[in-house]
Structure 1
Amino acid sequence: MGPQDANISGNVHGGVILKMIEQAGLIVSTRHCNVMRTHESTSEDEFEQCVAGLVRVEKTDFVQPMYIGEVAQLHAEITHTAYHSMEVQVRVWAEDVMHGTKRMTNEATLWYVPTSVKTLGKVLPIPKISYLSAEEEAAGWERYNKQKEARRRQGLGSTVSFTMAEVEHLMDQDNCITEHSVPYAQSSLIHLAGVTDCNFASYVNGGVTMKLMDEVAGITAFKHCKTTVVTASMDAVNFHQPIPRGSVMHVVGRPSFTSKHSIEIEVFVDMETMFKGHSKKQRAVHAFFTFVSLSNNKEVLDIPHLKVQTEGEISRFKEGAARYELRKQARSKGKKQHQNAASCS
């Protein structure tokens, strides 16, 4: 990792890591579908090349920071295949080649769908992987059904998620806003999806989108805290719509909840496609990022309390508090599992 990968605190930018994770998942899932389908096809006419498209990212943990000068190592593995989607587990390690040490920094679960290169938008079937046991396969189907239900619920739209009209209203306000309020820290970015942002099916890579989202979330957290902030985690991300090349991407972030030592940022991406002088904006991606505030000595600082004012902001704060408790429970459970694994080894 080089200086171009650094954030303002000198560590590797969280968005850079998210982009690498997605690229690893894209490679292993696209390779699996094309290689296995080549073996299963009886003729060249029967074989149809595909590229895997990211549809969901489960909670991504930033376990430890990665530093400039370390070598990033990623391992991606397909752990479940359904008929039209596959689960990919990705783990990231940072290797210090000067001292010969290695440590895990990130882990994530991603879901991909293979789409035809020849016929854009056509979803292809996935060759099945081999499982070590029936129990392993059953567990995979359980995870599949769980994420499918989560995508369905989120696709219906959250009652507290802020709408395009609400965001545009906030953007039109003047700068006389209360410090540490939601509008005070809200940030936005407009990006034109170009050739280098896209895969060879001409859709924006999921990693590119997540990097932009992390950047906007980081700016929002910085505006609220006025200190160095780093990404701690990213909750489940759903990619509702593929973003075609040439689209205008509107990335907006705003604080939704604060605890004593963390701030949650809600981020969404709206895409605007323009045809014959007319434009249509659609919600493409939505996610929650969690940041912590650090001093110059890398000590965790208290977060200023978020001042919620409107009914929607109060509702979103309550939902953020519920997600915060779930994260604490998940971290506690994960620590116990690691301790048990260490004691058995």
Structure 2
Amino acid sequence: MTRQSVTCDRSRTIQSKIVLPPDTNYLGNVFGGKVLAFIDEVAAIAAMRHCGSMVVTASIDSVDFLTPVREGDIITLEAFVTWTGRTSMEVYCKVLNEDIRTGVQEVTTTSFLTMVAIDENGKPIQVPAVIPTTEEEEEIYRTAPNRHQKRRERKKNSFS
């Protein structure tokens, strides 16, 4: 069976949310776990759009928080599928925070996630390949096999 191919735009997903008091710690900054939940959600939507089926999260690469997100800020997440294996998809997610008073936006974090497409019985299924069309997409696509190998090594060396 020949695998179809689709562009990154098919999966591109953008979500914006306002950071509310329940989302923040005692310093008024968003909880890191809340940002991770937002990332997981937008990445899953992007992966589902790419493959046309349900997905599960297999891994989230390291997440470094570069700038704080404060109560009242707008947080915008952009995700798209960057590379695929047979049943897995690498999804890139960029998170921006925006001070609504000034309009200044900063990158809060970026992350790569691995999602696996599944059928109605929870079994992995084949996914379409990716066609990068922009310079950013091409660079991320070109470097994906190296990240994939590092994930495999990390998984092999995990404690169980």
Amino acid at match of 1:293: A
Q: Could you say which structure has the greater relative contact order, defined with CA pairs below 8 angstroms and 6 or more residues apart?
A: 2
Q: Using the alignment, how far apart are the partners of 2:136 and 2:110 within structure 1?
A: 17
Q: Which residue does the alignment assign to 2:16?
A: 190
1:263 deviates by: 0.3
Q: How does 1:112-123 map to 2 (within 5 A)?
A: none
What is the Cα deviation at residue 332 of structure 1? 2.8
**Pairwise mapping of residues 160-239 of structure 1 onto structure 2 (< 5 A)?**
180-239=6-65
Out of 283, 287, 293, which is 2:117 matched to?
Answer: 293
1:312 and 2:132 are equivalent in the alignment: no
Alignment of 1:1-345 (within 5 A): 180-275=6-101, 278-334=102-158
1:84-119 CA distances to partner (integer Å, 9 max, x unpaired)? xxxxxxxxxxxxxxxxxxxxxxxxxxxxxxxxxxxx
1:19-46 Cα deviation digits (max 9, x unpaired): xxxxxxxxxxxxxxxxxxxxxxxxxxxx
Q: What is the TM-score when the length of structure 2 is the normalising length?
A: 0.91
Secondary structure of the corresponding residue to residue 291 of structure 1:
strand
Q: 1-side partners of 2:153 and 2:37: how far apart?
A: 27
Aligned-CA RMSD value:
1.5
Deviation at 1:314, TM superposition (A): 2.0
CA–CA separation in structure 1 for the residues paired with 2:16 and 2:156: 38
Gaps of at least 5 residues in structure 1 are: 1-178, 339-345
Q: CA deviation at 1:333?
A: 3.4
Give per-residue Cα distances to partners, 1:140-160, cap 9 Å, x unaligned. xxxxxxxxxxxxxxxxxxxxx
Greater fraction helix: 1
- Please give the secondary structure, in 2, of the residue aligned with 1:220: helix
Displacement, 1:268? Answer: 1.4
Given the two structures, how large is their TM-score scaled by the length of structure 1?
0.44
Distance 2:29 2:155 in 1: 35
- Displacement of 1:330 after TM fit? 2.4
Q: Which runs of 5+ in 2 are unaligned?
A: none
Provide the rounded CA distance (Å) in 1 between the counterparts of 2:136 and 2:146. 16
Runs of 4+ in 1 over 4 A off after TM superposition: none
Letter in 2 for 1:216: V
Relative to structure 1, the CA distance from residue 290 to residue 201 in structure 2 (aligned partners, 3 Å threshold; closer, same or farther) is same
Classify the secondary structure of the residue corresponding to 1:254.
strand
Identity of aligned residues (%): 24
Q: Secondary structure at the match of 2:106?
A: strand
